[in-house]
Amino acid sequence: MSAQPTPVVEVKDVTRVYAEKGATPTTALGGVSLTVEKGEFMALAGPSGSGKTTLLNLIGALDQPSSGSVKIAGRDVAAMSRKQLADLRRDEIGFVFQSYNLVPVLTAKENAEYVLQLRGVPAKERAQKVTELFGRMGLGAYVNSRPLEMSGGQQQRVAVARALVAQPAVVLADEPTANLDQATGAALMDLMHQLHEERGVTFIFSSHDPMVLERAERIVRLVDGKVVSDERKKK
């Protein structure tokens, strides 16, 4: 028998407690377990304060659990040094933030190829990868535009391109449609779903936006820091 492929994400009995000095500890996550396989297009859903962004930050190795374990591509986050964590985020995880997080002084192309530059990818190869992806995403006319010269939807597409171009194990998107109008948000979600199907990219969204949840193929709902349902839609 062939070995089972390693899940992209394994979260086991994770808690996250915030304890500021002199304040009552707050439990953001209480005993969450979750496995994400390669190629999933899924959403973490729930009201504000449910723990979905906290869970996304743990999966993205931006934070550490108070207890339990988080593994990304088979690697235990808790066992890594700061440099190893930085390398993991660079090599295995793509991030899409609701505030875009583009560097204002860089062009769209320079923003998108930044992770490739950190990896030491040669300039010619970087340009080829970004040009191909920009063409696919309708960004060809904005290669030399800076963020403030683009609309919110265009900036978010550049952010998605930046997350995808390095071919990470998983793309994490925290409320990616929050700052977009309905039509632009729907178009962005449709584009990400197409790229997911074409490239087999694993996406995990954190959102309560119906546009995101309608398109997600799996929805994990959290309430008060606990998973209350895990539903997969029939294709």
pLDDT at 144 over 80: yes
Considering only CA atoms, which of 132, 134, 140 is closest in space to residue 160?
134
Domain assignment of residue 63, yes or no: no
pLDDT at 1 over 60: no
Domain assignment of residue 151, yes or no: yes
Q: Residue 63: pLDDT band by 50, 70, 90 thresholds?
A: very high
**Rounded to two decimals, what is the model's pTM?**
0.90
Domain assignment of residue 101, yes or no: yes
Alpha-carbon distance values, 167 to 89, 123, 131 (Å):
12, 17, 15
Domain assignment of residue 137, yes or no: yes
Q: What is the mean pLDDT of residues 90-112?
A: 91
Interacting residues of 88 by C-beta distance below 8 A, sequence separation 6+:
61, 72, 75, 77, 80
Domain assignment of residue 70, yes or no: no
Q: What is the mean pLDDT of residues 55-62?
A: 94
Q: Which of 160 and 100 is assigned the larger pLDDT?
A: 160
For residue 207, give its domain range. 39-53+80-232
The rounded percent of the chain whose pLDDT value lies above 70 is: 98
Measured CA to CA, the distance from residue 116 to residue 196 in angstroms comes to: 20
Q: What is the mean pLDDT of residues 119-123?
A: 92
Q: Can you give the pLDDT at residue 4?
A: 66
> Average pLDDT of the chain?
91
Number of domains in the chain: 1
Q: What is the mean pLDDT of residues 95-115?
A: 91
Q: What is the mean pLDDT of residues 187-191?
A: 89
Domain assignment of residue 65, yes or no: no
- 26-36/9-18 β-pairing: antiparallel
Q: What is the mean pLDDT of residues 170-174?
A: 93
Domain assignment of residue 22, yes or no: no
Q: What is the mean pLDDT of residues 131-148?
A: 91
pLDDT at 160 over 80: yes
